Amino acid sequence: MYTIVQEDGGEWPWIVVSPDGERIVHPSVINNEPSIDDIRDIVRAHADGKPVPGLPADSERAADAVATPEEAAGESTEDSDADEVADVPASGDAYSTPTPARAVALDVRETKWAAECDRHGPVPMALNKYGDPVADVSAAYMYTSRDEADDAARLHLDRHAAQDADTMPPDDIDAAQSLNFSRDQWRALGWMRAGKVRETADGFTAFDVSPDKADVSTKFNKQRVPGLWLAGFVKVYAVAPGVRAFGLTDEGEAAFRLWSQAVRIGAVTEPEKDTKHTAVKDGPYRWLSAGDTWPGEVKAAQAAADAEAKTEAEAAALRKAEEERAALKAATPTDDELAVIDALGREGLDEHAAAVLSAAYIGHVITRYRPGATSVRLDEGSNDDERHVSRTYNFNGVEKPITTEADDTLSAIPANLTDATADTWHALCMSVDERYGVYQLDLQAAMDAGRATLAVLAAEEPESPELWVSREFKQTVERH
C-alpha cells in the first residue's frame, strides 16, 4: 500500500512512499495539505512502471550516473546526425493521445468509479447508465471497480464509432429486427420517453407533439400503450385521480435506442401495423376508461395531486407576496424623487435646471413603476411645448406602453421641454427626431444629471437666519 508521510521542516514536508519502502517524490502542497490529484497521478504512474511526474525517467537517471565530464558540460561524443535521430521518438507513448472516453475515480481510495467522455462538450462529461452525458457528476452511474468503468467507456466508444460510421454490429441489427416497431409504436415510445403521454377516462393522449406548433395533441389507439406495457417497455405513474403518466423501463429505453439507430442507418423496415410483442406481465392492463385501477393507485394518485396542489398554493402565495411588495414599492416615492419634487417647487429656478430636474423626475417615476426600464419615448402633445411619455423600453429594447398609474403621476409636473431648453434635453436623450417631435430619454443619464443639479442647488442655497444666529452664538461662547 502506498503511504503519504509527513516529515518535519522543509518546504515540501510530504512524500509518497511505495509499498516496498521506496521514497518516490514530494507531491504538490496546497494550503499546507498535499494535493490529492497529484498523489493519484504519482501512485498510478509508479504502479504502472511509467515515469513519475516530477522525477526523471530511469534511463535518464542511469545516463546521468555514467555521463562523462564532457557530456555533463554539454559536449556530445556522438555526431550531430545521431543526435538528430535520437530526438525523434520512434513509437509508443510519444505518439499516443488520451482516448475520448475513459474510467475516472471519484474518490482517493478508488472505491467509486465513473465513465466520462470528451465528445459531448468543451469539458469531459460523466456518463449515466445509458451512456448519455450528464452535467452533474452525482447523476453519473457509479461503478465499484475500474474494470467495470473501463468496460462502460469502451462500450460508449463503440457506440460513437458505430454512429460515426453509420454501422451496427450484426447482433444489434438482429435484435432491432426482432423488435419490429411500427412508426406509430416508435413515436409513442418517444413521446412517453419525454413524458408527454397521459391516460384519462377518455383514453390515451400525447400532448405538445409538434416540433413547430404549440399545443398540438394526438389521440392513441386504445391497444397501443397497453401492448407496449405488457411487453415490458413502458411503466405507469399515478399522477392524479383519474390521470396516469408514462415512462420507459430500462428495457424500453434500450429498445428505443436500438430501433432508432437501426432506422437511422436503414437496417430495418417499419411494418405498417403495430407489432404484438410477447407479454411479460402477469395480468392484463387496467383501462381508466373502464374504471379499472390497480390496488393503491387511487391513494397514490390523491397523494400526488395533494402534493402538487400544495406546491402550487405555496408558489401562488409567494407570487402574491412579491406582487404586493412590488405594488407598495411602486406606490412609495423614493427620497431622490421627493428631493426632485421639492427642488422643482423652488422659486426663481433656472429654466435649464428645471428641464434637468423634470427629466430626472421622469426617470425616478418610470423606474419606480417599471424597474427594468432604461429609456422612455416622449411625444408631442396638442402644442409644440407639450410633451408626454408614451412608451418605455428595457435594456433589450422591449417596448411597453406606460401604465396608467405612472401616467397619472407624471401628469402632476410638466416636462419643461421647450425650444429654449431643447439643447438641455438633447444631452439627456439617446435619440431625437425633431421632425416628428419624438425624444427617447435615457433614464439613468437623466437621474444622474438630476442628482448633480441638486448638489449644485444645495451649494448655492443661502443659510437660514436660525442657522446664522446659532453660529454667531457658538463663536461668541468660544471667545469667552
Give me the residue label for grid cell 512512499. Answer: 17
pLDDT score for 65: 40
Among the listed residues 381, 362, 204, 201, the one whose alpha carbon sits nearest the alpha carbon of residue 292: 201
pLDDT score for 480: 53
Quote the CA–CA distance of 29 and 36 in Å, as a whole number.
9
Q: In this structure, what are the phi and psi dihedrals at residue 180, rounded to the nearest 5 degrees?
A: 55, 45
Q: In this structure, what are the phi and psi dihedrals at residue 479, rounded to the nearest 5 degrees?
A: -70, -30
pLDDT score for 22: 79
pLDDT digits (tens, 9 = 90+) for 350-374: 888 998 999 999 999 998 888 889 9
pLDDT, averaged in runs of 10, over the chain (480 residues): 66 73 75 72 73 49 42 45 47 57 88 90 86 87 92 89 80 92 95 93 91 86 93 92 92 93 90 93 89 84 86 90 80 86 86 90 90 88 68 88 86 79 88 85 93 88 57 54
Quote the CA–CA distance of 234 and 225 in Å, as a whole number.
8
Question: SS3 for the chain, per residue?
Answer: CCEEEECCCCCCCEEEECCCCCEEECCCEECCEECHHHHHHHHHHHHCCCCCCCCCCHHHHHHHHHCCHHHHCCCCCCCHHHHHHHHCCCCHHHHCCCCCEEEEECCCCCCCEEEEECCCCCCCEEECCCCCEECCHHHCCCECCHHHHHHHHHHHHHHHHHHHHCCCCHHHHHHHHHHCCCHHHHHHHHHHHCCCEEEECCEEEECCCCCCCCCCCEECCCCHHHHHHHCCCEEEEEEECCEEEEEECHHHHHHHHHHHHHHHHCCCCCCCCCCCCCCCCCCCCCCHHHCCCCCCHHHHHHHHHHHHHHHHHHHHHHHHHHHHHHHHHHHCCCHHHHHHHHHHCCCCCCHHHHHHHHHHHHHHHHHHHCCCEEEEEEEECCCCCCEEEEEEEECCCCEEECCHHHHHHHCCCCCCCCCCCHHHHHCCEEEEECCCCEEEEEHHHHHHHHHHHHHHHHHHCCCCHHHHHHHHHHHHHHHC
C-alpha cell at 465: 437666519
Separation in Å, CA 29 to CA 15, 43, 219: 10, 16, 64
